[in-house]
Structures are given as structure tokens and as C-alpha cells.
């Protein structure tokens, strides 16, 4: 059964396929049947450029547990990066508690 769970967000950055890097325009997060991973349903992440051919994508499939761990790691990295950015800009950042997974 398809879940129809799909979230799309604007993305600025670069992705790599083979030996080629390409600029991103969007990221797509979905929960559906695995196509390649040896698992049932998975979180899929696709990083795409809608201005390029359909092959201009970098995709991954993660188990739900791995996706949760990735989300936590992103939260920690973003918090640390925001602290560093505030220090560089002289805004007197206050470091929050960052817990390891």
C-alpha cells in the first residue's frame, strides 16, 4: 500500500551523481516502499534540480530508525553551526545543550 506521504522543500546546495556535481533546487522527503534497500517501507530523500533532466538527482533510502538518527544529527550540527555563525558575527551566542545520539 502506498502511503502518499511526501514533503517538498526548496534546497540550495550541490549534489553529486557519478563524477558530476550539479546545483540543487529542491529536496523531496517521502515515506514509501523501498525500491532498493532491503527493507519494507523507508524514508526516501531525493535531492533534485527541476531545471535539469530527470537523472539530475541524488537519492537515498533509510529505515525509519536511521532517518530519526539522521534528523538528530542534523539538529545537533545545525545548532553548533548557528552558534559558530553567531560568534563570527559577534552576536554573543549562548551555547545550547547538544546531546550525542
Calculate ∠ Cα 49-6-52, nearest 5°.
10
- 80 alpha-carbon distance from chain centroid: 17
87 vs 18: which has the higher pLDDT: 18
> Whole-angstrom Cα distance, residue 72 to residue 66?
10
Whole-structure pTM value: 0.75
Residues in the chain: 101
pLDDT at residue 40, rounded to an integer: 81
- pLDDT, tens digit, for every residue of 43-71? 999 999 999 998 889 999 999 999 999 99
Band (1; pLDDT cuts 50, 70, 90): low
Amino acid at each position: 500500500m502506498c502511503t502518499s506521504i511526501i514533503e517538498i522543500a526548496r534546497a540550495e546546495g550541490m549534489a553529486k551523481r557519478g563524477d558530476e556535481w550539479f546545483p540543487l533546487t529542491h529536496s523531496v522527503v517521502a515515506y514509501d516502499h523501498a525500491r532498493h534497500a532491503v527493507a519494507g517501507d523507508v524514508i526516501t530523500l531525493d535531492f533534485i534540480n527541476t531545471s535539469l533532466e530527470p537523472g539530475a538527482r541524488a537519492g537515498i533510502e533509510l529505515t525509519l530508525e536511521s532517518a530519526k538518527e539522521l534528523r538528530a544529527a542534523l539538529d545537533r550540527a545545525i545548532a553548533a553551526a548557528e552558534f559558530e555563525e553567531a560568534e563570527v558575527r559577534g552576536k554573543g551566542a549562548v551555547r545550547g545543550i547538544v546531546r550525542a545520539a
